[in-house]
Amino acid sequence: MPAERLAADHVAIHPSGPLRGTVQAPGDKSISHRALICNALAEGEAQIDGLLDSDDIRSTMACLRQWGVEFELDADRVLVRSQGQAAFQESEQVLDCGNSGTSIRLLAGVAAGLPFRSCFDGDDSLRTRPMRRVLDPLQTMGAEVSHQRTAPFQLRGRRLNGFDGTLAVASAQVKSAIVFAALRADTPSSIVEPGPSRDHTERMLAAMSADIEVDGATVTVEPGAALTPRDVHVPADISAAAFWMSAAAMTPGAEIALPNLGVNPRRTGVIDALRLMGAEIDLRNQRDASGEPVADVVVRGGALRGATLDGDLIVRAIDEVPVLAVAAATADGVTEIRDAEELRVKESDRIATTAAMLRAMGVGVEERRDGIRIVGGQLRGATVDSHGDHRLAMAAAIAAMTADPESGPTQIRGASAVDISYPAFWRDLDRLQHDA
């Protein structure tokens, strides 16, 4: 059996031949959070289909419920029923965001516009992640903040001024938090971002009648517009599909189809990076779903070559770097990943954890402050740890599949981390390996 379930939280992955088949990747995580939050801010009802069913999304739903928003769940369709942000009620309980940086940062922006105290917390990983980047600007706008560095923290909404400035990091979570606060401010906001971070919040709010405009790197928000609820069809998540895209791209003879994939240009850095490395990727039947570009994507395997991945490409592929590093490890030549220091403050320090995983599997890697230098070659089976990081666990699985068969299976510890964003990952892997 290719993916063996071992003791409680370990799996063993055996190398396999080229993958062929179709994968219906789960709903986009970023769009799922926003479909819930934006509709919660509006008064009325909206239906969301294709919503991601995962731990992070459950964290956002639980927090919104504590403020009084109602959800009705029916298979992968969710009805959001809200009386609007003005009707939110104070929660006696802590808002527990679990492992989810998107939940805590976006909801902090919402809390800045609520006239009561909100207490936020999360798991051990979330408690280490930087919160100043979002709490400082919210405080400048007028919110009362108890403690700025890390969770747990408390926030109380006061009268807010608009935000006018440039963000220190290209982060959609920070930008979105400020946008949510800006909707409730007394004066307009102008937010300039240093790189092209994902724009799902701006797209969704514009479609819900918010007065929001994007001009290049500047987002302007005029407060006061009443939001109208909006049904959302959530496309498949390119960040989840990236594991299969990379697995196919690096194995001659492989071919994987990924239907209904979100291909927002601020998320397609992984496609550009794999193409730069020589992969053959087709986008078919390009269309729009709820204001987001969508396509059916087909990836065919070949021999990859090393490349330099840096600048805006990294912002547009920020969650895909661990699996791109795996692809680089099988490529011909050297890959330089630069400008990726944000990876140090993700669910794990992804520069350190990715480098350690590849090193354990026999790859020549050099860790840099802002990236990794990878010498392509042959991966070897090894024992590796997810460090509780979902994307690390999945990147390790893709590495394990292409390892030298003589070197034996790879043991992945902390395999259940995938539940954060892709609970069906091990099942999909099993099926693809059996079908291969």
Q: Which of 96, 199, 237, 319 binds ligand S3P (CB under 6 A)?
A: 319
Q: Does 203 participate in binding ligand S3P (rule CB under 6 A)?
A: no
Of 118-126, 172-180, 187-195, 351-359: span binding ligand S3P (CB under 6 A): 172-180
| Exposed / middle / buried, residue 159 (Cβ in 10 Å: 0-12, 13-18, 19+) | exposed
Q: Does 173 participate in binding ligand S3P (rule CB under 6 A)?
A: yes
Q: Does 103 participate in binding ligand S3P (rule CB under 6 A)?
A: no
- Cβ proximity to ligand S3P, 342 vs 419, nearer residue: 342
The CB-of-390 to ligand S3P minimum distance in angstroms stands at 10
Catalytic positions, please? Answer: 319
Q: Which of 80, 318, 324, 382 binds ligand S3P (CB under 6 A)?
A: 318
Q: Does 30 participate in binding ligand S3P (rule CB under 6 A)?
A: yes
State the angle between helix axes of 238-249 and 29-41 in degrees (0 to 180), rounded to the nearest 10.
170
Contacts of 73 (CB under 8 A, 6+ apart): none
Of 170-178, 262-270, 278-286, 355-363: span binding ligand S3P (CB under 6 A): 170-178
The CB-of-223 to ligand S3P minimum distance in angstroms stands at 21
Site for ligand S3P in 320-349 (CB under 6 A): 342
- Cβ proximity to ligand S3P, 129 vs 300, nearer residue: 129
Q: Which of 39, 47, 66, 171 binds ligand S3P (CB under 6 A)?
A: 171
Q: Does 198 participate in binding ligand S3P (rule CB under 6 A)?
A: yes
Q: Does 172 participate in binding ligand S3P (rule CB under 6 A)?
A: yes
Residues of this chain that interact with ligand S3P (CB under 6 A) are 30, 33, 102, 171-173, 176, 197-198, 318-319, 342
